Every structure is written in C-alpha cells, then in structure tokens.
Amino acid sequence: MSENARSATVTVSLEDAEEGLSALVERAAAGEEIVIEKAGKPRARLVAVEAGAGEVSVTTTSLPPRPLGKYRDVIRVGPDFDDPLPEEIMRYFRGEGD
C-alpha cells in the first residue's frame, strides 16, 4: 500500500485489496479514499457511501420519459394474459425442452 500526497487517499494493488477487502471497506467508511490498481494502473476507487444513501437508484437522463397511454388504442392484452402457461411451454422453463 502506498499513501498519496493527500493523506486521505490510499493506493493498493488488486491483490492486496482482495486479501484485505473488509479492512479497506472500514477505512473507506471512516473517510479514506482507496484507489485500487491493477498492473500499476488505477482501476477502481472505494469511498464511503453518503449518509442517508441507503438505497441505490439507477437513473438515465439520455431519454425523455415515455408518455403514459401512448399505445392505448394499439396494444390489447387478452383476458387470458395471467393464465398459467401450457405444459409444453413450461417444460422449457424447467429445462426439459427438446
């Protein structure tokens, strides 16, 4: 492990990170930034999760939200939509298909 100019940043090899991951997580939770290197090149950064960030959410901003009801008169869902699938199809889900 080597410490960078900023005392809160520590660089470790991937091998060291694998061996001491639990300790590194605790150090990151205490405020240190851990940079993990592979073949001498930075590959990942381990940092603490911000307080109150108990849930992880994935958002995309590249596409606008889809309007509700856009295909209301185009797509129809049959009355048997929730019915059980036929046995010949269920075999494939169980890995018993041809």
Closest CA to 88 of 80, 79, 96: 96
CATH code for the domain of 28: 3.40.1620
Q: Answer yes or no: is 33 within a domain.
A: yes
- pLDDT for 39 equals 93
Q: Is the model's pLDDT at 3 over the cut of 90?
A: no
Q: Which amino acid is at 13?
A: S
Q: Answer yes or no: is 57 within a domain.
A: no
pLDDT in tens, 8-47: 789 999 999 999 999 999 999 999 999 999 999 999 999 9
**pLDDT class of 49 with cuts at 50, 70, 90:** confident
- pLDDT for 44 equals 93
**pLDDT class of 66 with cuts at 50, 70, 90:** confident
Provide the domain count of the chain. Answer: 1
Q: Is the model's pLDDT at 5 over the cut of 60?
A: no
Element (H, E) at 16: helix 14-19
Identify the domain containing residue 29 by its residue range.
2-46
Q: Answer yes or no: is 16 within a domain.
A: yes
